[in-house]
Amino acid sequence: MSSKVPLDLMSINEEGPSFITRGFPESLNNPISDNKHIVAPECIPENFDSDPVQKFAGLGLEITSAVIGNVISHPCIVIRRQCQVNRKAARYHLNPFTLIPVLMRLHSRQGVSCLWKGCAGIFILRGCTIVLETFLAEVTPFPREVSSRSSLKQLSQHLLLKLIAYGVLTPFYCASLVETVQSDIASEKPGVLDCLKEGVCRLFKLGTPRSTRLLPMWQLVGPSALFGVSTYVLSSLTQSILHWFHNMKIRNMHGKLSVEYPSSQSSAINYIDNLSIVHFSSFLASVVLYPAETMIHRLYLQGTRTIIDDLDSGTSVLPVISTYEGIVDCFHTIVAEEGASGLYKGFGGLLMEYALQVLILKVAQFVFHEIESVFKPANKPISEHSI
């Protein structure tokens, strides 16, 4: 789930990894917080803007991060969610190769825009999340940010703040999910602010009549909030551990008196390394909690009379029909009717998303390494007689 709950960088000290969050850059692949991989300032190495080459590299890496988050991720999220909510699908698309011909057929029939539906609602929800968390931090003693020096009480309050934010915004996440998965050829394209309007209608049961299978919001708030916080914590802890190992590796390299290890690592490469850690942490959290994401998506969509693309063929549409009574019943029904692998429908879309991200990061790493080698003089070895 696109969020997608927040993924933040960690503070690393010499004793080991420590949990710390800065801001709330909204980067989990779920309706609660879609993974757009916005990089927090802590990801940028010190003295990154010390010369024009580093400034150019910084601008290029920001563009790379935006491309990964908004151009690459969203189509994969759209496809993955459509697979997850289709309980009658015969093809589970557990690997990305089965999705390629389906994507080609969708593109030929509906155009490329069908893969970027729901973008506007996701961006609006990001802004709403930031505003809500800031408001809660002002009117309550709960901190919006914590550091390695924060107490256990402060950390608990910080997580409680996020729990409240996820719960309050649950109806808007439901509306955003509908915008993301509904078929363009069977539904009207939503307006820019329709996500907010539909969220309010869902909360107060306003607007067009809905199915009696629509779950009351109180049944969705708890699972949504717990899923969001769980993804946030798992992703953050993974980042903390990986950053600690990464920093230890750099310290060991700098401690060796050898020409093979320069006195300072390329800032651009270090930035990409940190960005890679962010993406891997998000990927790990998405894999571990993928079954929970599938169940929550189905509960969000139940009773909304949404029509999605049939990804068995890519040439037709079908309605989403389910009668789950809650999160527990949803789990047992999926396992009984679709098997345990039914919880991983669309997993190939997740693999495709992160494979493309890895490819882009590798290309960016190569490009900036070449740029630095052209514009920067080679490091001269220190003479044995130099003082």
pLDDT digits (tens, 9 = 90+) for 181-234: 999 887 777 777 888 899 998 888 776 666 778 899 999 999 999 999 999 999
Instruction: Measure the CA–CA gap between 240 and 133, rounded to whole angstroms.
Output: 23
pLDDT at 338: 95
pLDDT at 51: 53
**pTM above 0.85?**
no
Instruction: Measure the CA–CA gap between 148 and 150, rounded to whole angstroms.
Output: 6
Residue matched to tokens 């047992």: 332
pLDDT digits (tens, 9 = 90+) for 295-337: 999 999 999 989 999 998 888 899 999 999 999 999 999 999 9
pLDDT at residue 29 tops 60: no
Model confidence at 251, pLDDT cuts 50, 70, 90, reads confident
Q: Which residue has the higher pLDDT, 49 or 194?
A: 194
377, exposed or middle or buried, with CB in 10 Å at 0-12, 13-18, 19+?
exposed
pLDDT at 2: 43
Residue matched to tokens 């209608």: 201
pLDDT at residue 73 tops 90: no
Check if the beta carbon of residue 287 is closer than 8 Å to that of residue 215.
Answer: no
**Residue of 133, 163, 128 lying closest to 22 (CA atoms):** 133
Instruction: Measure the CA–CA gap between 17 and 242, rounded to whole angstroms.
Output: 8
The structure tokens listed for 180 are 């993301």
Which H, E and C letters describe the chain, residue by residue? CCCCCCCCCCEECCCCEECCECCCCCCCCCCCCCCCCCCCHHHCCCCCCCCHHHHHHHHHHHHHHHHHHHHHHHHHHHHHHHHHHCCCCCCCCCCHHHHHHHHHHHHHHHCHHHHCCCHHHHHHHHHHHHHHHHHHHHHCCCCCCECCCCCHHHHHHHHHHHHHHHHHCHHHHHHHHHHHHECCCCCCCCCCCHHHHHHHHHHHCCCCCCCCCCCCHHHHHHHHHHHHHHHHHHHHHHHHHHHHHHHHHHHHHHCCCCCCCCCCCCHHHHHHHHHHHHHHHHHHHHHHCHHHHHHHHHHHHCCCCCEEEECCCCCEEEECCCCCCCHHHHHHHHHHHHCHHHHHCCHHHHHHHHHHHHHHHHHHHHHHHHHHHHHCCCCCCCCCCCC
The structure tokens listed for 53 are 């080459």
Model confidence at 69, pLDDT cuts 50, 70, 90, reads low
Instruction: Measure the CA–CA gap between 202 and 236, rounded to whole angstroms.
Output: 31
Q: Which residue has the higher pLDDT, 267 or 319?
A: 319
Check if the beta carbon of residue 178 is closer than 8 Å to that of residue 198.
Answer: yes
Other CB atoms closer than 10 Å to residue 56's CB: what's the count?
Answer: 16
Instruction: Measure the CA–CA gap between 115 and 1, rounded to whole angstroms.
Output: 17
- CA–chain centroid gap for 71, Å, is 13
- CA–chain centroid gap for 5, Å, is 7
Q: Which residue has the higher pLDDT, 363 or 153?
A: 153
Q: Phi and psi (nearest 5°) for 12?
A: -115, 125
31, exposed or middle or buried, with CB in 10 Å at 0-12, 13-18, 19+?
buried
pLDDT at residue 23 tops 60: no
pLDDT digits (tens, 9 = 90+) for 117-176: 888 888 888 889 999 999 999 999 999 988 778 889 999 999 999 999 999 999 999 999
Instruction: Measure the CA–CA gap between 104 and 198, rounded to whole angstroms.
Output: 31
